[in-house]
Amino acid sequence: MKKTFLLTTILLAFFCFSCDNEPYDGEIFIETPIIVNPTDPVDPVDPVDPVDPTTPGSSLQLNDYDYIKNFSDVAGGGETTFITDFVINTNNQFTAQNTSITFFGITVNGVGNVIRDQNSRVTELRTTVDGVVINRTIVTYNLNKISQIDYEDLQDAADSFTFAFIHNNNVITRTKEGTNFSTRFTFDATTSKLVNRETMENDIVIKTEAISYDTAGNLTSTVFTGQDANTFTYTYDNNTNPLRNSLNDLYVFSILNDEYDDQYEHWQAVIYSTNNLISATTSQGSSNLDVQYDANNRIMSRNGTIFTSVPTISNDVTITIDETFQYIN
**Segment 94-107, tens digit of pLDDT:** 766 778 888 878 88
Has residue 6 got a pLDDT over 70? no
pLDDT in tens, 118-132: 888 889 888 888 889
The closest of 68, 59, 33 to 323, measured between CA atoms, is 68
How far is C-alpha 150 from the chain's CA centre? 18
Q: How confident is the model at residue 46 (pLDDT cuts 50, 70, 90)?
A: low
Q: How confident is the model at residue 48 (pLDDT cuts 50, 70, 90)?
A: low
pLDDT number for residue 103: 81
d(CA 16, CA 159): 14
- Per-residue burial over 174-210, b = 16 or more CB atoms within 10 Å of its CB, e = otherwise: bbbeeeeebbbbbbeeeebbbbebbbbeeeeeebbbe
Across the chain, what does the average pLDDT equal?
Answer: 80
Instruction: Read off the pTM.
Output: 0.81
Q: How confident is the model at residue 4 (pLDDT cuts 50, 70, 90)?
A: very low
Give the residue, 261 or 77, on which the prediction is more confident.
77
Beta carbons of 59 and 329 less than 8 angstroms apart: yes
